[in-house]
Amino acid sequence: MARQATVARRAEELLDVAVVSTQPVAGGDICTTTRLRLSDGTLAVMKTKPHAPPTFFRTEAHGLRWLAEVDGGAPVPEVLAVEDDCLLLRWIEPGRPGGDAATAFGARLARTHAAGAAAYAGPDGSEADGWIGTLPLPQRSAPTWAEFYAVRRVLPYLKLARDRHAIEPEHAQVIEDIVRVLPDRAGPSEPPARLHGDLWSGNVVWAGDGQVWMLDPAAYAGHRETDLAMLALFGLPQLEQVLTGYQAEAPLAEGWEERVGLHQLFPLLVHACMFGGGYGARAAAGVEHLR
């Protein structure tokens, strides 16, 4: 198998283990991902991005380690090394979706959420900006989830979408209306949950070991319904089984189904900012019933 010299050399510098072979990994439009076979038998993956901001990979590594702290929580890859220019993780071998794995994943995700945090903010209470895709992610704390969601998750991306002409004025108005009534639409008060933060189906790996793993977090402390709403956004296989396992471990508050569109506002606005298209209209349609 071919060996990419530059990637292999950088991995060897950081891991102090010889790289036997490298292989490009398909998928993803932000980073270049390369699978590595090391001389000690370890399979690893290296993520690189030209001209990445200094905090880009370190923030992801911090989030992964924060999520990994939870005993019995949803598994995430082990961080092997991180520097400004790259992130090295233990490789997760893909498998096939299954009902039992989905139910177990739901229960483990509930445990991750329940591990919680002291405040609505970044991992370990960090208030330094993180990243969601290629966009900065505000993490400064707020006293309530409604305030945090409005001023750190919805309004910054609504403004950016407007600036980029990625949302129509009438759709932006719907979202502004929702922000004004958000405290009344947020549902029962809950403590901060430990979130993956970007838990769409592409960041979920059904692994050959029978477990379901979470990749590429934009971790923070927020509302647990946000992770679940993101799982539903682009169609996760076995989602009903995931929810069954979750509800058995930690039942959701009454009316959570009515709030799915509210929790999808954030990722849809991020997509509008990054990709344009109809994401702004979809964001508004999902909360129209809450006006």
Q: Are residues 263 and 168 in the same domain?
A: yes
Q: How far apart are the first and last CA of the chain?
A: 57
**Average pLDDT of span 147-152:** 98
Closest to 87 measured CA to CA, from 117, 49, 53, 141: 49
Q: Are residues 231 and 214 in the same domain?
A: yes
Among 90, 108, 137, which residue terminates a domain?
Answer: 90
Q: Are residues 116 and 211 in the same domain?
A: yes
Q: Are residues 27 and 146 in the same domain?
A: no
**Average pLDDT of span 189-213:** 96
3-class DSSP string for 43-83: EEEEEECCCCCCCHHHHHHHHHHHHHCCCCCCCCCCEEEEE
165 confidence band (pLDDT: 50, 70, 90):
very high
List the CATH number of the domain containing 9.
3.30.200.20
According to the model, what pLDDT value does residue 4 have?
86
**Beta carbons of 77 and 215 less than 8 angstroms apart:** yes
According to the model, what pLDDT value does residue 2 have?
61
DSSP category for residue 134: T
- Write the single-letter amino acid at 246: Y
Residue 220: which domain range?
Answer: 99-290
HSE-up of residue 62 (Cα within 13 Å, Cβ side): 19
Among 72, 90, 108, which residue terminates a domain?
Answer: 90
Q: Are residues 75 and 107 in the same domain?
A: no
Q: Are residues 206 and 77 in the same domain?
A: no
pLDDT at 204 over 60: yes
Average pLDDT, the chain: 96
**Beta carbons of 132 and 150 less than 8 angstroms apart:** no
Q: Are residues 70 and 144 in the same domain?
A: no
Closest to 218 measured CA to CA, from 230, 233, 232, 205: 230
| Distances in whole angstroms, Cα of residue 61 to Cα of each of 26, 92, 244 | 21, 16, 30
Per residue in 70-79, pLDDT (tens digit) is 999 999 999 9
Q: Are residues 145 and 74 in the same domain?
A: no
Q: Are residues 165 and 212 in the same domain?
A: yes
List the CATH number of the domain containing 120.
3.90.1200.10
Q: Are residues 145 and 235 in the same domain?
A: yes
According to the model, what pLDDT value does residue 249 have?
98
Among 39, 55, 90, which residue terminates a domain?
Answer: 90
Number of domains in the chain: 2
pTM (predicted TM-score): 0.96
**Beta carbons of 89 and 47 less than 8 angstroms apart:** yes
* Rg of the Cα atoms in the chain: 19
pLDDT at 1 over 60: no
Residue 158, both tokens: 């609504």
Q: Are residues 138 and 190 in the same domain?
A: yes
Return the percentage of the chain with pLDDT > 70, whole number: 99
**Beta carbons of 67 and 76 less than 8 angstroms apart:** yes
Per residue in 6-53, pLDDT (tens digit) is 999 999 999 999 999 999 998 777 999 999 999 999 999 999 999 999
**Alpha-carbon gap, residue 199 to 6, rounded angstroms:** 31
HSE-up of residue 3 (Cα within 13 Å, Cβ side): 13
Q: Are residues 148 and 252 in the same domain?
A: yes
Kindly name the residue from 177, 198, 209, 216 that is annotated as catalytic.
198
Is 100 catalytic? The answer is: no
